[in-house]
Chains A and B, each alone.
Chain A
């Protein structure tokens, strides 16, 4: 046997070892990262069951376990009201915003009409203006027609739906990827534009429809700035984000409500997470298909 035949094998072994070492490091990094990413959520879960002290303490595992915080959360605060508000906003957004977003993104992606570029550029420029300041005037107008404070929910829905047409980027990116020859084939067969939309493209766009519904539904759960401004301190008009932030907004509040806040966080996070996990496939498809091509 000559050396020539052994050499590649040795080299191969060396590479294998190198590969194993780098894999080991990758596993190590990944495990560390997973711990860092998950520990806060485990902590919040554990702290929500702590009975003995309601303020922040220097240990994680409760000395005394119980559901006291949850009971208190639902009986002594407006949490149920906040939860209902958010659910209502989320559900309406899921229906209405989805219709608006799909209509706009479909049109801009697949119909050629005069002014299309102009509309897209206008959206781009409008998006550069910090939308928050417009709340100063919107708030006054809404409060004149009585949609602020305790009645903030319809006001928030209205603002959210009205402005949602500008958030068309991701679903437009998705529509762009559907081959144009389909439209043309249908057109040759005598289909109207509505039929092309309804019978040809929509059945193919299921992932982006579900993605849009999912993000529209989840948006209000994290909506903070607008919700806080419109609710204007009235507990009945808050959503969960504003309500829970209000709970721990001052040192005095923290010492009273900290564990209750943890319980509230868990109550919000668990259903959303379950829903998300069920529809995760579509979310990933939407993000990877639409976000980068949009």
Chain B
């Protein structure tokens, strides 16, 4: 595709511009890929350079450093203690002591087992005195995987701390050489409220995210390369590394006795995408529409209308979702009333017909989502300068033209990032699907031994079923989680490229 120059581009109408941008993006995919690989290459070069510099730094510091610094290479915190920063130095030293103690007592053990995640499962041993079988515990693959990972994290933490220690000694050396006084503990503590205030504020949150998000995520990524499931739970039956087997299974397109996993995955993925597109854009445009209606000059009781919609945000979603799902059930209120009034003879299969169920889910999501979108849109609409509309009116623009030329571009510009995040949120919208349909109705094609799904199941609810169902297919769950991550990352990348503006975050301040 030929790149148009600015003048040609400006002549296109909105739709053409949009397709031009998409087409341009697609034709440029090879180029993007190339830049991506070059980026990765450069990234690695940079990393190697950094590591090289690091060694150089450590080496030269050791050679040229004072004797205090040299000792600090082996006894952490020595430099600090000898310069009067006793508390800080002791902390360093304590950390080193704990690290060495841990590595000797258990860290080495876990690391050694990490290679094949244990080699002896628990066994039943006959005990002749009581005439019973006793369980003798063996290795626990789950624990080995977890503690192995933690040990690796601990080692990295130690290296980082060691490096901080060296760096501090280096700085102290320099300060002493220039004849100034080294900072005291008190100064350091004070700086935590001033120059290092960000460290004070961020330490706990980052530790929390490390412990409860990052390490578990790494753990689950590792699980994707093992054969862990309900039978291979780690102690009665060990699990072990299997390389790419789980990914191969997901993409083999093989019909086994347990159904076709690839087909199920493809089916669920495409419905997830359709759902996310509809859920995001119906809410977006209808919410904006409602906001525009309420905002229109001459409409009275603006506060009342808004208030009623905002009220529905307050009611916890699970109440409304569960109630509405029962409302449309076979023997629910809607069917009952329609039968009573003689409008229908047979019940409408809202939740048992696959297509109808999918439409219903999207419609009810509109019901859930509009008030929120209306609220956001109202805020933005009020920010649009009114004189734009005045001058448009003088130029003879009708309502539709005002909408497409002023309101919509402004809205899209301001809410671009929001649209992306809400799209991603909808890809993983567990509550709406699970509480409304639970993924039902079941679809025979989606029944697999790895984990079954229904017509309205999204990847995330499928994941929930796989993990909580009878199969407890953890390995598959981990693989699917990685797939979800890839889908979301690719979409975000594309959208960022197509989006008219990658706004500067400081634009508004």
Contact A241 to B316, CB < 8 A, known contacts A58-B333, A140-B142, A229-B468: yes
Decide if B194 touches A292 in the complex (CB within 8 Å): no
The answer for the CA separation of A163 and B377 in the assembled complex, in Å, is 29
Contact A194-B197, Cβ < 8 Å, known A56-B332, A137-B220, A165-B206: yes
Closest B residue, CB atoms, query A275: B314
Residues of A within 8 A of B24 (CB): none
Contact segment of A28-36, A73-81, A204-212: A28-36
Residues of B within 8 A of A59 (CB): 333, 336-337, 340
A292 to B381, CA, bound (A): 12
Q: Chain B residues near A56 (CB, 8 Å)?
A: 326, 329, 331-333, 336
Residue among A58, A126, A197, A272 making CB contact with B213, cutoff 8 Å: A126
Mark contacts of B422-436 with chain A using CB atoms, 8 A cut-off: 1 yes-contact digit, 0 otherwise: 001000101100110
Write out the residue numbers on chain A whose beta carbons fall within 8 Å of the beta carbon of B448.
Answer: none
Asked if B326 contacts A254 (CB within 8 A), the reply is yes
- When C-beta atoms are compared, the residue in chain B nearest to A128 turns out to be B488
**Residue among B296, B467, B485 making CB contact with A129, cutoff 8 Å:** B485
Cβ-defined contact, B205 with A129, below 8 A: no
Q: Which residues of chain A have C-beta atoms less than 8 A from B201's C-beta?
A: 103-104, 106-107, 111
Proximity string of chain B (398-435) to chain A, C-beta cutoff 8 Å, 1 when within and 0 when not: 00000000000000001101100100100010110011
**Is A234 part of the binding interface, using a Cβ–Cβ cutoff of 8 Å?**
no
B216 close to A128 (CB less than 8 A): no
Q: Which residues of B lie under 8 Å from residue A132 when comparing CB positions?
A: 430, 460, 463-464, 467, 481
What would be 5 A-B contacts, judged by CB atoms less than 8 Å apart?
Answer: A60-B337, A103-B201, A133-B478, A178-B509, A218-B316
Closest chain-A Cβ to B196's Cβ sits at a distance in Å of 9
Cβ of B273 within 8 Å of any chain A Cβ, yes or no, is: no
CB proximity of B389 to chain A, nearest CB, Å: 15
Question: Using an 8 Å CB-CB cutoff, how does the interface string of B352-391 with A read, 1 for contact, 0 for none?
Answer: 0000000000000001000110011011100000000000
**Known A-B contacts A43-B327, A56-B332, A287-B376; A245 and B322 likewise in contact (beta carbons under 8 Å):** yes
A134–B216 contact, CB under 8 A? yes
Decide if B194 touches A193 in the complex (CB within 8 Å): yes
The interface centre, meaning the residue of A27, A33, A137, A284 with most chain B CB atoms within 10 A of its CB, is A137
Q: A56-B326, A222-B318 are in contact. Are A30 and B305 (CB under 8 A)?
A: yes
- Asked if A44 is an interface residue, CB under 8 A from chain B, the answer is yes
Q: A193–B193 contact, CB under 8 A?
A: yes
Q: Residue on A with the closest CB to B207?
A: A162
Complex CA distance for A128 and B485, rounded to whole angstroms: 5
A129 CB contacts on chain B under 8 angstroms: 217, 481, 484-485
| CB neighbours of B125 from chain A (8 A) | none
Chain A contacts for B331, CB-based, 8 A: 55-56, 58
Given contacts A23-B299, A58-B339, contact A292 B376 (CB under 8 A): yes
Q: What A residues does B312 contact at CB under 8 A?
A: 37-38, 41
Interface majority SS (helix, strand, loop, mixed), chain B: helix
**Is A213's CB within 8 Å of the partner chain B?**
no
B379 to chain A, nearest CB (A): 3
B431 nearest CB across to chain A (Å): 6
Residues of chain A within 8 A (CB-CB) of B489 are: 125, 128
B98 at the interface (CB under 8 A from A): no
- The 8 A-B residue pairs whose C-beta atoms are closest, nearest first, are A58-B336, A288-B379, A165-B205, A276-B314, A134-B216, A162-B208, A162-B212, A194-B193
List the A side residues contacting B205 at CB < 8 Å.
100, 103-104, 164-165
Q: A107-B198, A111-B198, A132-B460 are in contact. Are A289 and B379 (CB under 8 A)?
A: yes
Asked if B327 and A58 sit within 8 Å, CB to CB, the answer is no
* Nearest chain B CB to A285 CB, angstrom units: 9
Contact A136 B477 (CB under 8 A): yes
Q: How far is the CA of A106 from the CA of B205 in the complex (A)?
A: 12
Given known contacts A136-B467, A177-B508, A291-B418, is B314 in contact with A272 (CB within 8 Å)? yes
Q: Within 8 Å of chain B (Cβ to Cβ): is A185?
A: no
Option from A111, A218, A222, A284 in Cβ contact (under 8 Å) with B379: A284
Q: In this complex, what residue of B is CB-closest to A133?
A: B481
- CB contacts (< 8 Å) of A8 on chain B: these are none
* B275 proximal to A (CB < 8 A): no
Interface residues of A in 51-96 (CB under 8 A from B): 55-60
In the complex, what distance in Å separates the CA atom of A179 from the CA atom of B208?
A: 31
Determine the distance from Cα of A121 to Cα of B293 in the docked complex, in whole angstroms: 38
Taking the closest CB of chain B, its distance from the CB of A177, in whole angstroms, is 6
CB–CB A113/B333 < 8 A? no
Q: Is B309 at the interface (CB under 8 A from chain A)?
A: yes
A277 within 8 A of B: yes
Per-residue 0/1 for A4-42: is the Cβ within 8 Å of any B Cβ (1 yes, 0 no)? Answer: 000000000000000100110011011001101110110
Cβ of B315 < 8 Å from any Cβ of A? yes
Are the CB atoms of B326 and A258 closer together than 8 Å? Answer: yes
B242 to chain A, nearest CB (A): 17
Q: What CA separation (Å) do A29 and B431 show in the bound complex?
A: 28
Q: A59-B333, A133-B220 are in contact. List 16 more A-B contacts (CB 8 A).
A: A27-B299, A40-B327, A107-B197, A107-B201, A126-B214, A129-B485, A134-B213, A137-B220, A162-B213, A176-B508, A177-B508, A177-B509, A194-B194, A273-B315, A280-B307, A292-B379
B298 to chain A, nearest CB (A): 6
Name the residue on A nearest B466 (C-beta): A133
The winner among A123, A135, A241, A275 for most chain B CB atoms within 10 A is A241
Contact A141 B146 (CB under 8 A): yes
Can you list, as one digit per residue, whether each of A108-149 has a CB less than 8 Å from chain B (1) or not (0)?
000101000001000101111111111111101100000000
Contact B316 A222 (CB under 8 A): yes
CA distance A265 to B435 in the complex (A): 14
Residues of B within 8 A of A194 (CB): 193-194, 197, 200
Q: Are B315 and A272 in contact (CB under 8 A)?
A: yes
B477: chain A residues at CB < 8 Å are: 133, 136
Establish whether residues A280 and B318, one from each chain, have CB atoms under 8 Å apart when the complex forms.
no
Contacts of B367 in A (CB 8 A): 36-37
Task: Find out whether the CB atom of B209 lies under 8 angstroms from the CB atom of A224.
Answer: no
